[in-house]
Amino acid sequence: MIHKPVLLKEVLEYLKPKAGENFIDCTVGFGGHAIPILKRIMPNGRVLGIELDEAVLEKLQSQISNKRLILVQGSYADLERVAKKNNFYPVNGILFDLGISSWQIEKSGRGFSFLRDEPLDMRSDKGSRLTAEEIVNQWPEKELVRIFQEYGEERFARRIADSICWVRKNSLIKTTQQLVEAVQRAVPAKYRYRRIHFATRIFQALRIAVNDELNNLKEALPQALEILKKDGRLTVISFHSLEDRIVKNFFREAARKDFLKILTKKPVGPDLEEIKLNPRSRSAKLRAGVKI
């Protein structure tokens, strides 16, 4: 499995993993961060890896057999419960990498990308009920406008929602390509040829809504700070402004209450070399803090 972990050098720099310590990777994916951390904390350290996507977890389990890497299928919104259930203490550091993996975009077949014609699913957890198809075809127009504005920061949210509602009156929108066509009908011609694809923000908004990503993050961050031991480190990599804003505000509030010392005055991004090797890393922002 080819997977390029984003900001790996910086993650290791801010988490400072040492032999015998314990770390939680809340979004373990294919182990791009967890495995290098594990190498630094051997022989007695442990990594608890949480992953929402069961298919991703199965692929990682088939490649790694290390008893020091404990893998759990679930949501980081249940972080405290998962740590307790696995008796995972003390916790020296916690990592969140909030990006969606290249495998999910390119290989999962769940409609995360507008570049492939796939069913409109977008669930990271196949066990959850809500799909992008249900939102697009059944949610009221005002709710579509709300999520496109709030989660996608889309300037043509009303026009796009109106177009979707017009299309779905005649036939259900079941695939990514059908959704792209509905969006294209609504946006001005010049908007269709910009560097960022005209459907990007709509797909982002739907993915966030399907997986309740922002609320899960808001629930998880206080739990992370709670279960960290004193001097434990918290590192978060976000990929769009909504996530980064939540992280920034949480860090500032925790620092104001003397619960956290912020280690990154400004978010840390990838260097030019990393962007060249992995263009998807370009929007990554890392923030780190240490529990007081």
Residues 170-221: tens digit of each pLDDT: 999 999 999 999 999 999 998 888 878 999 999 999 999 999 999 999 999 9
Does residue 136 share a domain with residue 84? Answer: no
Q: Is residue 138 part of a domain?
A: yes
In percent, how much of the chain has pLDDT > 70?
Answer: 99
What pLDDT, on a 0 to 100 scale, did the predictor assign at position 280? 86
Based on the fold, state whether residues 221 and 153 are members of the same structural domain: no
Q: Of 186, 211, 236, which residue constitutes the final position of a domain?
A: 211
Q: Tell me whether residue 95 is in a domain.
A: yes
The C-alpha R_g of the chain, in whole angstroms, comes to 20
Select from 211, 239, 262 the last residue of a domain: 211
User: Taking residues 4-12, what's their average pLDDT?
Assistant: 95
Average pLDDT over residues 96-104: 88
Q: Are 267 and 135 found together in one domain?
A: no
Are 32 and 177 in the same domain?
no
Identify the pLDDT of residue 180. Answer: 98
Average pLDDT value for the chain: 95
pLDDT of amino acid 48: 98
The residue among 44, 50, 52, 51 whose CA lies nearest residue 19 is 44
Q: Is 70 left (phi over 0), alpha (psi -120 to 50) or beta?
A: beta
Same domain, 115 and 186: yes
Please tell me the least confidently modeled range out of 144-148, 191-195, 244-248.
Answer: 191-195
Asked if the model's pLDDT at residue 61 lies above 70, the reply is: yes
Q: CA angle at residue 239 from 238 to 242, to 5 degrees? A: 80
Residue 55 sits in the same domain as residue 97: yes
Is the pLDDT at 3 greater than 90? The verdict is no
- What is the maximum span of the chain, computed from C-alpha positions, in angstroms? 62
In a domain, 185, yes or no: yes
pLDDT at 87: 97
- The pTM for the full model equals 0.94
Query: Do 93 and 130 belong together in one domain?
Result: no
pLDDT on residue 2: 45
Both 231 and 95 in a single domain?
A: yes
Mean pLDDT to the nearest integer, 217-230: 98
Domain interval for residue 202: 109-211
Nearest C-alpha neighbor of 135 from the set 151, 124, 121, 149: 121
Phi and psi, residue 228, nearest 5°? -65, 140
